[in-house]
Amino acid sequence: MTSVSAERAYTLSHLDALESEGVHIFREVAGEFERPVILFSGGKDSIVMLHLALKAFAPAAVPFSLLHVDTGHNFPEVIEYRDRVVAEHGLRLHVASVQDYIDAGKLRERPDGTRNPLQTVPLTEKIQTERFDAVFGGGRRDEEKARAKERVFSLRDEFSQWDPRRQRPELWNLYNGRHAPGEHVRVFPLSNWTELDVWQYIAREKIELPQIYFAHQREVFQRNGMWLTAGDWGGPREDEKVEKRQVRYRTVGDMSCTGAVDSDAVTLTDVIAEIAASRLTERGATRADDKLSEAAMEDRKREGYF
Amino acid sequence: MTSTIDPLAGLTDPVAGTAIDTLRFATAGSVDDGKSTLVGRLLHDSKSVLADQLEAVERYSQSRGQQAPDLALLTDGLRAEREQGITIDVAYRYFATPRRRFILADTPGHVQYTRNMVTGASTAELAIILVDARNGVVEQTRRHAAVAALLRVPHIVLAVNKMDLVGYEEKEFDRIVADFAGHADELGLPGFTPIPVSALVGDNVVDRSARMGWYAGPALLEHLETVPVGGDVTREPARFPVQYVIRHDEVRYYAGQLASGSLRVGDRVTVHPSGETSTITGLDVLGEDAAVAYAPQSLTVRLADQLDVSRGDMLTAGPDAPALRQDVSANVCHLADRPLRVGDRVLVRHTTRTVKAIVKDLGGAAELAANDLGHIRLRTAEPLALDDYAVSRRTGAFLLVDPEDGATLTAGMVELG
């Protein structure tokens, strides 16, 4: 009878529950949509998404392609990682290039040099031209308070706009993906994950990450209270002093607005301990774009940002 | 209460029982009951609010001329909510203590947002119903209790807030608890845990209050940490809605998430609605070959026979078969702004299956408006494999969807009768 009592005590650990839910979401999309795509930046959240997708459809291949919105301000380590993963799993990669839009005069560089807000138009146009009907994003509700109100299946009009007051109610695990031609659905399989969950899962699954997530020596300079990496994108200015520090990145985004944090965390276990002890959210610590205003994220989401 | 998180929590072997689990819970309260303040207090005092989040709240509170940081701003994330000082939409919050991880669905209380509470309650294992100690049980409270009963939320907490404004008096608390107990009985709520709190001051939220010596029960967070979660999977019927068929090397893998119960290699299974049967030859739980799988694991199933099984079918095992019905009776909450009328043609979304249906009856009413709770009879174009919602919150639940524009119209909870 011991086996029966062991079963009664059976509950999924929080990581197993999150993994199971994420896989369920991927399979729902595969069952309901014609042309899904996974937004893949080479950041940890998109890497976990891809890992879930690989598990969801094993032993067959992932039935989706990847889409990278390339700001042109990339960390070389991340681009190298992206290309290696794409080749390893035989995936197809689409790139929507902000630089192409600037070169063609369709987008103008902002005075502060930040390109994150410029991603929306290339992303939206790529979705339209490729006729993607479901777009997986790595957004998590714990990241930011506008994201806390986001659905797992989030309907977008042909301009990719998000209207928080017209969201569909989402009950049980019944996701409604019906949409009109030209509309699409943003899908967030990591909605219920926290930053710590992502890292614990990466450790448990032994998922390889770009090296910039771990402590390393880097030449950086300070701007708006963040350590930025020097580069062609426009830093440092004359009054900004470059120095060598031991840092790592908590998030990976556009180089012009993604800051490094001082860190000694060399291994995954170090990183997890550091995050568990941190008194700052990852966006607060590393993202200049969210500090623009109280509603910066809500405004960008309304306009079709991730 | 400390909130030191073990960095390796969740990395331990889950089957050994050492890993922490998750409690999903929902909050509901009327306007000005102090719900957002309670949630803010829970997050703040459990040290789940990080420095930059608190700084943003302080900045905004000061800009509005408030002295103390308004903890409600931690959850009211949309601009319209901050401007109006009310919660409009469901917000999900995440926090952890050394004992458990929490997913909180923070839902608005006003009657025009009943649908949001229904949404939050649909996945909750516990609901906190908040009342103002000065007002006691009001119409809104009864509605929240009715929603919790309808959605079959397994655990209910009655949080009697603003105890500081009634002098921390035991008799005030007892009066409200007795009043609520009467309604709970009528609604068939399984029971509830009453806790006297002051969210503003922090009494009995995270730490037990010294100001209410007459109260011997746990503080709210303590209760949230210890309430049992999850059902007894060995007593549930085995239900496996097929999401997707993976074909590889001539083998068909039926992919899905176990909605309830467990499946074993060797189990005899029935495919619904066709009624064909076969035997499980293999189970794969996300890369691990398994002899047995439990809800709510995602997995693939292999069968001994080549059957025509596709998305929308359901595999079941064991003695308790689901009911195959084309005439469906259910309790409903209408969610959409446009009304639902007798004679409407709709789509029914049940597990992974979508079928056409006609609304035959609305409990005698001609139509249901947004936020109405009611009763429905549907006639579906094809049979559905149904369980009573009281038996399974997964296979007893459905949505009605507008076939024209895809809008989610109504939430349904099956009554097999």
pLDDT of residue B151: 95
Q: Residues A89, A235: one domain?
A: no
Q: Provide the chain A residues 20-39 that lie in CB contact (below 8 A) with chain B.
A: 20-21, 23-24, 27-28, 30-31
Q: How far is B185 from chain A (nearest CA, A)?
A: 26
Residue B88 has pLDDT above 50, yes or no: yes
- In this prediction the pTM is 0.90
B279: left (phi over 0), alpha (psi -120 to 50) or beta: beta
- Residues A125 and A167 occupy one common structural domain: yes
Distances (CA, A) of A212 to A40, A282, B373: 17, 15, 53
Rounded Cα distance between B200 and B120, Å, is 24
Report the C-alpha gap between B367 and B374 in whole angstroms: 10
Same domain, A37 and A175: yes
Q: Is B225 strand, coil or helix?
A: helix
* Residue B177 tokens, joined: 């608890």
Q: What is the pLDDT of residue A286?
A: 59
Q: Strand A153-156 vs strand A184-187: parallel, antiparallel, or unpaired?
A: antiparallel
Note if the bond before B296 is cis, omega within 30 degrees: yes
**Is there a single domain that holds both residue A185 and residue A251?**
no
pLDDT value at residue A259: 86
Whether residue A36 is contained in a domain is answered as: yes
Record: contact A284-B53, CB cut-off 8 A: yes
Residue A232 Cα, gap to closest chain B Cα (Å)? 30
The confidence score (pLDDT) of residue A295 equals 56
Q: Where are any strands of DSSP class E within B201-344?
A: 238-241, 244-248, 251-257, 262-264, 268-272, 277-285, 288-290, 292-294, 298-303, 314-317, 323-334, 340-341
Interatomic CA distance for residues B52 and A156, integer angstroms: 30
| Nearest chain A alpha carbon to B122 | A172
The answer to whether residue A44 scores a pLDDT higher than 50 is yes
- Tell me what pLDDT residue A272 has: 87
Residue B86: pLDDT above 80? Answer: no
pLDDT score of B62 more than 80: no
Q: Which residue of B has its CA nearest to A56?
A: B286
Shared-domain flag, residues A113 and A141: yes
Which H or E run contains A46?
A: helix A44-57
pLDDT value, residue A94 = 97
Whether residue A205 is contained in a domain is answered as no
pLDDT digits (tens, 9 = 90+) for B241-289: 999 999 999 999 999 999 999 999 999 999 999 999 999 999 999 999 9
Find, among B291, B307, B289, B293, the residue nearest to B256 by Cα.
B293
Of the pLDDT bands very low, low, confident and very high (cuts 50, 70, 90), residue A158 is confident
Residue A269 is assigned to a structural domain of this protein: yes
| Structural element, H or E, at residue B371 | none
Contact list in A for residue B86 (CB cut-off 8 A) is: none
A195 vs A45: CA distance, rounded Å: 9
Query: Which range, of A154-168, B77-91, B165-179, B372-386, averages the lowest pLDDT?
Result: B77-91
Assigned domain for A236 exists: yes
Give the pLDDT mean for B311-319: 96
Chain B touched by A87 (CB under 8 Å):
no
Q: Do the domain assignments include residue A254?
A: yes
Residues A145 and A273 in one domain: no
- Based on the fold, state whether residues A165 and A216 are members of the same structural domain: no
Note whether A204 contacts B75, CB cutoff 8 Å. Answer: no
Task: Determine contact: A51 vs chain B, CB below 8 A.
Answer: no
What pLDDT was estimated at residue B3?
36
Tell me which chain B residues have a C-beta less than 8 angstroms from the C-beta of A16. Answer: 14, 297
- Average pLDDT of the residues in A190-218: 93
Per the structure block, which two tokens stand in for B19?
């890993």
* A218: β partners: A245
What whole-number distance in Å separates Cα of residue B80 and Cα of residue B84? Answer: 6
Structural domain tally of chain A?
2
Helix A195-205 / helix A14-32 crossing angle, nearest 10 deg = 90
How many whole angstroms separate alpha carbon A181 and alpha carbon A188? 21
pLDDT of B16: 33
DSSP for A126-159 reads HHHHHT-SEEE----TTS-TTGGG--SEEEE-TT
> How much is the pLDDT for B303?
98
Give this complex's ipTM. 0.90
Three-state DSSP class for residue A65: strand
| A306 against A179, higher pLDDT | A179
Per-residue pLDDT band for A3 (boundaries 50, 70, 90) equals very low
> B20 to chain A nearest CA, in Å?
6
When mean pLDDT is compared across A79-93, A210-224, B124-138, the lowest value belongs to A210-224
Q: Among A76-80, A220-224, B35-39, which is the least confidently predicted range?
A: B35-39
* Domain edges within chain B: 14-226, 238-317, 323-414
Lowest average pLDDT, out of A61-70, A110-119, B175-184, goes to: A110-119
Q: In terms of residue numbers, what domain contains A134?
A: 12-196+297-302
User: How do strand B126-132 and strand B155-161 relate by DSSP bridges?
Assistant: parallel
How confident is residue B77, by pLDDT bands cut at 50, 70 and 90? low
**Which of A153-162, A180-189, B165-174 is least confident?**
A153-162
Same CATH topology for B14-226 and B238-317: the answer is no
CATH 3.30.1050.10 fits B238-317, yes or no: no
**Could you tell me the CATH number of the domain that includes residue A140?**
3.40.50.620
Rounded CA separation A272/B9 (Å): 10
pLDDT of residue B51: 65
**Residue A163 clears pLDDT 80, i.e. is over it:** no
| Mean pLDDT for chain B overall | 88
User: Which residue from B372, B370, B342 is spatially nearest to B357, judged by alpha carbons?
Assistant: B342
| Test the A interface: residue of B13, B58, B89 with most A CBs within 10 Å | B89
Cβ–Cβ gap B411/A169 under 8 Å: yes
Per-residue pLDDT at A133 exceeds 60: yes
Whether residue A14 and residue B50 make contact (CB cut-off 8 A), yes or no, is no
Please state, rounded to an integer, the average pLDDT across all residues of chain A: 85
| Residue A281 falls inside a structural domain | yes
Q: Is residue A5 in a domain?
A: no
**Mean pLDDT on B72-83:** 61
Mutate to test the interface with B, among A25, A26, A27 (most CBs of B within 10 A): A27
pLDDT at A285: 57
pLDDT above 70: percentage of residues in chain A: 86
Judge: domain B14-226, CATH 3.40.50.150.
Answer: no
Enter the tokens of residue B137: 């049980």
Give me the helix-helix angle, B170-187 and B139-150, nearest 10°: 50
Collapsed DSSP state (helix, strand, coil) of residue A93 = strand
Distance CA B88, CA B91 (A): 9
Higher-scoring residue by pLDDT: B345, A8: B345
Question: Do both A82 and A216 map to the same domain?
Answer: no
* Mean pLDDT, residues B30-54: 74
Which overall architecture, per CATH, does domain B323-414 show?
Answer: Beta Barrel (2.40)
Higher pLDDT, residue A68 or B113: A68
Residue A57: its chain B contacts at CB < 8 A?
246, 255
How far is residue A251's CA from residue A283's CA, in Å, rounded to a whole number?
8
Q: What is the DSSP annotation of B37-69?
A: HHHHHHHHHTT-S-HHHHHHHHHHHHHTT-SS-
Domain identity same for A188 and A214: no
User: What pLDDT is recorded for position B6?
Assistant: 41
Considering the domain architecture, whether residues A214 and A192 belong to the same structural domain is answered as no
Task: Give the integer Cα–Cα distance in Å for B330 and B328.
Answer: 7
Distance CA B383, CA B274 (A): 10
Reply yes or no on whether the pLDDT at A282 is more than 70: no
The tokens describing B11, both together, are 């990395």
Q: Rounded distance, CA B118 to CA B121, Å?
A: 5
Model confidence at A2, in pLDDT bands (50, 70, 90)? very low
Q: Is B1 strand, coil or helix?
A: coil
Phi, psi dihedral angles at B3 (to 5 degrees): -135, 35
Whether residue A224 is predicted with pLDDT greater than 60 in this model: the reply is yes
Measured between beta carbons, which residues in chain A are less than 8 angstroms from residue B4? 276
Answer yes or no: is pLDDT of A300 > 70: no
How many C-beta atoms surround the C-beta of residue B337 within 10 A? 12
- Which chain B residues touch A7 with a CB distance below 8 Å? 233-234, 262, 294
pLDDT at B110: 72
With bands split at pLDDT 50, 70 and 90, how would you rate the model's confidence at A73?
Answer: confident
Amino acid in position A77: E
Residue A233 lies in a domain: yes
Q: Are strands B277-285 and B193-196 parallel, antiparallel or unpaired?
A: unpaired
Q: Which long-range contacts (CB under 8 A, 24 or more apart) does A78-82 make?
A: A78/A41, A78/A42, A78/A43, A78/A210, A78/A212, A78/A252, A79/A42, A80/A210, A81/A42, A81/A209, A81/A210, A82/A40, A82/A41, A82/A42
